[in-house]
């Protein structure tokens, strides 16, 4: 899941260029499983839904109030599911916690497990993500509406 702001804003004689706030700067602080189901036909598939609390560190001078955050998740070119959040605030130069819902739909256990174990042995799992955020960036007294779509493959 990623959020961000692109651009430069000249302020008081210095150039302000925000970096991206990404889930590379965060971690899952809490995971509560809501539903798990397994189907065996035609192949073994797992569907999972869970409530998340994600810890995000924002090193920038701006805060982000968002009304909607959607992140589509894929693995090795196949869609896995989606993370959604109905709104919240990522504070400036601080750690914030975002409540979100995770829905993984029909993960192919046998085929994906082999690749997943291989990636874990290498030390990282390459998830594909497409994040969409709508909200307002706050910098001092300015409030700038934003609609962002970030892709990471």
The whole model's pTM is what?
0.72
45, 39 Cβ separation under 8 angstroms = yes
> Does the pLDDT at position 151 exceed 90?
no
Domain that residue 39 falls in: 2-152
* Number of domains into which the chain is organized: 1
Higher model confidence: residue 40 or residue 34? 34
If you average pLDDT over residues 48-57, what whole number do you get? 89
How far apart CA 126 and CA 26 sit, in angstroms, is: 16
pLDDT tens, residue by residue, 92-136: 899 999 999 999 887 776 777 788 888 888 888 788 888 898 999
Which residues lie closer than 8 Å to 123 by C-beta, 6 or more apart?
none
What kind and span of H or E run contains 56? strand 45-58
How far apart CA 20 and CA 116 sit, in angstroms, is: 27
């Amino acid at each position: 899941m990623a959020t961000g702001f692109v651009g430069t804003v000249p302020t008081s004689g210095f150039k302000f260029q925000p970096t991206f706030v990404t889930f590379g700067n965060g971690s899952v602080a809490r995971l509560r499983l809501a539903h798990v189901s397994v189907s065996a036909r035609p192949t073994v598939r797992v569907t999972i839904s869970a409530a998340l609390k994600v810890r995000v560190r924002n090193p920038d001078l701006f805060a982000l109030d968002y009304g909607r955050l959607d992140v589509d998740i894929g693995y090795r070119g196949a869609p896995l599911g989606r993370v959604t959040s109905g709104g919240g605030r990522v504070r400036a130069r601080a750690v914030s916690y975002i409540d979100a819902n995770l829905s993984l739909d029909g993960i192919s256990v046998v085929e994906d497990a082999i690749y997943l174990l291989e990636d874990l042995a290498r030390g990282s799992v390459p998830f594909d993500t497409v994040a969409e955020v709508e909200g307002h960036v706050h910098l001092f007294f300015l409030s700038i509406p934003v609609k962002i779509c970030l892709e990471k493959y």
